[in-house]
Copies of this chain bind each other. A is one copy, B any other.
Amino acid sequence: MKPSLTFWYEFASTYSWLAAERIEVLAAQAGVDVTWRPFLLGPIFVAQGWTSSPFNLFPAKGRNMWRDMERQRAHMGLPPITRPNPFPQNSLLAARVATALPAAARPQFSRAVYRAQFTQGRTIAHREVLSAILGDVGDAPSDALAAAEAAQTKNALRAATDQAQSLGIYGAPSFITGSGELFWGNDRLEQALEWAKDETI
């Protein structure tokens, strides 16, 4: 059995961006198969009584997150950050598009959405922003935006979010190994990959 890891990510999440930039190279080095699963964190936050991102609800935490993101992205050699306004962005349409895409197109599309949002400050809730990104993504069918609005897609994303919550996910990014071990946060990506590898020895 090849080791596997599910990458649960939320498009409005800053640290999900960093994980999306790193996971393919690290997983290839580790020989781990990765499944990209977009979901919505909003309903999970609402269920625990939050009406916005904790980075907005708790200003000191938010200030440090943006400073930390600037340090992290510089260390990774990513372009400077331009914050989207508002933050967090409404990520529903982007998550629906990613859900509707073939699995092979999901990583490239997702990274492009993150870069548009966090390095250009684009509004990822806008159809034209996502449409332009889709035009640049290989393997993206021309009707991806229409497919995003299909009932089947909406239901699939809702089911993914329900599943994330039932798996104990409370933040993004999260990683779950083949045997169900949950790791939270971009900082745990390396450990999650190691764990996934060890499961199959």
User: Footprint of B on A, CB under 8 Å?
Assistant: 48, 57-58, 60-61, 63-64, 67-68, 71, 75, 168-171, 182-184, 187-188, 191
CB <8 Å contact, A64 and B191 = no
Q: Which residues of B contact A67 (CB under 8 A)?
A: 182
A156: shortest Cβ distance to chain B, in Å? Answer: 23
CB <8 Å contact, A187 and B187 = yes
CB <8 Å contact, A168 and B58 = no
CB <8 Å contact, A60 and B170 = yes
CB <8 Å contact, B171 and A61 = yes
Secondary structure at chain A's binding surface: helix, strand, loop or mixed?
helix
CB <8 Å contact, B48 and A170 = no
Neighbour of A68 across the interface among B63, B68, B170, B184, CB < 8 A: B184
CB <8 Å contact, A60 and B191 = no
Q: List 21 A-B contacts (CB under 8 A).
A: A48-B57, A48-B58, A48-B60, A58-B170, A60-B168, A60-B169, A60-B170, A61-B170, A61-B171, A63-B168, A64-B168, A64-B170, A64-B182, A64-B184, A67-B182, A68-B183, A68-B184, A68-B188, A71-B191, A75-B191, A187-B187
A52: shortest Cβ distance to chain B, in Å? Answer: 13
Give the distance in Å from the alpha carbon of A158 to the alpha carbon of B93 in the complex: 48
Give the distance in Å from the alpha carbon of A198 to the alpha carbon of B175 in the complex: 33
11 new A-B contacts, CB < 8 A, other than A64-B182, A67-B182, are A48-B57, A48-B58, A48-B60, A58-B170, A60-B169, A60-B170, A61-B170, A61-B171, A64-B170, A68-B183, A71-B191
Give the distance in Å from the alpha carbon of A191 to the alpha carbon of B63 in the complex: 18
Give the distance in Å from the alpha carbon of A169 to the alpha carbon of B58 in the complex: 11
Give the distance in Å from the alpha carbon of A103 to the alpha carbon of B107 in the complex: 51
Give the distance in Å from the alpha carbon of A187 to the alpha carbon of B191 in the complex: 12
Q: Which residues of B contact A68 (CB under 8 A)?
A: 183-184, 188
Q: Which residues of B contact A169 (CB under 8 A)?
A: 60
